[in-house]
Structure 1
Amino acid sequence: MQQVDTTATAMNVATPEYPFTVSVVIPAYNEAHGIAQVVERIRTVLPHAEIVVVDDCSQDETARVAQAAGARVIRHPINRGNGAAVKTGIRRAHGEVVLLMDADGQMDPRFIPDLLAGIAAGYDMVVGARTRETQGDSLVRRWGNRALDMLGSYLVETEVRDLTSGYRAIRREVIMEFINLLPNRYSYPTTSTLALLKAGYNVGYVPVTAQRRQGGRSGQKLLRNGIRFGLIILRIVSLFAPLRVYLPVALSMQVLALMSFLISFFITDPFRFHIPNSAVGLFVGSIIIFMFGLNAEQVAALRFQRPFRNDEEG
């Protein structure tokens, strides 16, 4: 894990000069109540950046308000999901670096210079990792995010922080390599972080604090989040490191098969060589799971083969 050193830029809202152009992409759905303020606050930090608001078929005046505030607005004719809006924004952005933010006002623009300073320092992606002091963050949600971070760290074999944070700056040419992996609904932050780490790109972290939501209602529900959390786990396991999950399961089944045989040999039918059906089933099942995991691992590896570049020669 790399934490970006931004001591010199922390709390600085002046617009520094960067060796790249920046596009700010904001997915929005029914955020007319606060989108103008979000755009205006970003503009004070990045007066010359392109600000792209992707309106995911809102039922209110989100598109009109965002455009009036000075944003470039792209509107989906149907509601396709938060991740789909992010992908549309990335594809249509003109900047060399894409800065992703939410439209609800929880992401404080004062941390933008810190994120971009990390990109200027050589990172391919810099994530705004929320601190424990994040306002409005429930204990259950923190535990869930921590568990997800631990699983992600295990899968990509390096420590990761705040996998669910949507506040991040990414080199556009890099994220375009993996844009088809990003889901149309939720978990695009998780997928993008793990994809870049798996492919060997440099990912840094900047501590940020979130603000309270600006009006409106959050769509977060405990049951819905629980189901979504489970689906995210299944997705990242299958995408990034299947064998690191399937192999321990297969080995556990083989241990259980051995225990079943030993119980039969020493207890239920002493010193009579007989392999119980449970041991056979567990052993055969472990072989199947291992082979399935091995095949899935090979498929996953093909997804993250970096294209050859002349500047990487030698």
Structure 2
Amino acid sequence: MSRLSIVLPAKNEAAALKDLLPRLRAAQPEAEIIVVDDGSTDDTRDVCSGAGVLCLSSPYSMGNGAAIKRGARAASGEVIVFMDGDGQHDPADIARLLGKLDEGFDMVVGARDWGSQAGVGRGVANTIYNWLATRMTGHQVADLTSGFRAVRAGRFREFLHLLPNGFSYPTTSTMAFFRSAYPVAYLPIKAAQRIGKSHIKPIRDGIRFLLIIFKIATLYSPLKLFAPASAIFFLLGLANYAWTYFHYGRLTNMSTLMWSAAVIVFLIGLISEQITALTYRRDE
């Protein structure tokens, strides 16, 4: 295995890192370990220094995705493992991810079971995301939002410009790999309860998680979302026309409006499809 880098985004995770970093070093003694301190106000930097781990600190919080991007740029390994700094992920599982990566995959994701989800609401949301991503890509997506994954560094850095600064980097990177025909695999893992308080706020991040649904489509094939929506508008217009013609013997403005909406939505899908294709275009 080529040199390994392990990147952990962390914001006020000193309590978890005190236990996690020694275990991580014991599990992967040769690995480069990078903690990206996302504007922490606790003693995260001191904990990293005491463990002999590189800590990249930001003067203020930029977001989980921003920390991932910074860590990916700084990593020197040909393979990067991303894992949370809150103690949820078991360092012993890294060897399993790397073993699967050696089978020819470009990304291997640790897939959580239902018991490892952070609450019923998050579990239901993730189930919906996984189902939609599976339908869009035609490949089984076991855990779209898992932050525990091993990737080939060169492949991952191709998509840094696409990654948001917030919490949805796993969704973006997964869909980008599928779109670019880079093979992705999933391995079942058990995630422990996080140490400390979660940084996810239900109202603010709930809206962001809803936007993930649209991001899943636009990152892979927008027409797969817009074409069915266009068909629904067309059928509604047709049904409205049939009803009004039967009762009043004429075409109404509502039917015309729905058919116009069908055409507009379909054209938006075509344009989005072209934009998506250009997004992934690379100059070799």
CA contact (8 A) 1:39 1:70 kept: no
How far 1:21 moved relative to its partner?
Answer: 0.9
Corresponding residue for residue 206 of structure 1: 187
2:132 alignment partner in structure 1: 151
Matched, 1:191 2:172: yes
- Structure 1 counterpart of 2:82: 100
Q: Which runs of 5+ in 2 are unaligned?
A: none
Please provide the CA RMSD for this pair.
1.4
1:122 matches 2:98: no
Aligned residues: 284
Alpha-carbon deviations, 1:134-193, whole Å to 9, x = none? Answer: 2x6322221110001111112222221111100000000000111111110111011111
Contact 1:27 1:82 in 2 (8 A): yes
**Equivalent of 2:34, from 43, 46, 52?**
52
- Please point out which of 274, 282, 304 is paired with 2:258: 282
Indicate if the aligned counterparts of 1:23 and 1:52 stay in contact, CA closer than 8 A.
yes
Q: Which position in structure 2 is the counterpart of 1:83?
A: 65
Distance apart, 1:74 and its partner CA: 0.8
- Deviations 1:228-281 (Å, cap 9, x if unpaired)? 2112223333332211111111111111111111112112x1xx4x32100111
1:128-147 alignment to 2 at 5 Å? 128-134=110-116, 137-147=118-128
Match of 2:203 among 223, 231, 234: 223
Whether 1:291 aligns to 2:267 is yes
Indicate the residue corresponding to 1:30 in structure 2: 12
Offset of 1:118 from its aligned partner? 1.2
Q: Using the alignment, how far apart are the partners of 1:184 and 1:67 within structure 2?
A: 26
Query: What's the TM-score once normalised by structure 1's chain length?
Result: 0.87
Structure 2 Cα separation of the partners of residues 197 and 180 of structure 1: 16
Runs of 4+ more than 3 Å apart: 305-308
SS of alignment partner, residue 51 of structure 1: strand
Contact 2:178 2:220 in 1 (8 A): no
Identity between Structure 1 and Structure 2 (%)? 40
Larger CA Rg, structure 1 vs 2: 1
Give 5+ residue unaligned stretches, structure 1: 1-17, 309-314
Q: Does the Cα contact within 8 Å between 1:56 and 1:80 map onto a contact in 2?
A: yes
Read off the aligned partner of 1:59 and give its amino acid letter.
T
Whether contact under 8 Å (2:97, 2:109) holds in the other structure is: yes
Q: Is the helix fraction higher in 1 or 2?
A: 2
1:245 maps to which of 210, 214, 225: 225
Aligned to 2:276: 300
Match of 1:182 in 2: 163
